[in-house]
Amino acid sequence: MNKLFKDDRAYRPDEVAEILGINIKTVYRRINDVRNPFPCVRLKKHGPLRIPGNKMNKFLEENKVNPLEE
């Protein structure tokens, strides 16, 4: 699979939304999803959210779906 995100950087939620072609509200819903959330970290206690590229690539690989099997 081609990697959408660079492994050596962290992305803002709006950047993830743009790369995936989804609404930023969807990114925040997935971050807060109880069963299978997007991986994210805060660099400081009340700092902004960041989504590590390497973890996002892993998440997408582990959760990819074959539409022909659905």
Give pLDDT tens digits for 35-49: 999 999 998 899 999
Q: What span, in angstroms and rounded, lies between the C-alpha atoms of 35 and 4?
A: 23
15 pLDDT higher than 80: yes
> pTM of the prediction?
0.86
- The secondary structure element, H or E, covering residue 20 is helix 13-20
Query: Percent of the chain, pLDDT > 90?
Result: 81
Tell which wins on pLDDT, 26 or 44: 26
Taken in order 59, 54, 1, 25, the sign of the CA dihedral is positive
Chain-centre distance of CA 54, in angstroms?
10
The conformation of residue 39, written as its DSSP 8-state character, comes to: P
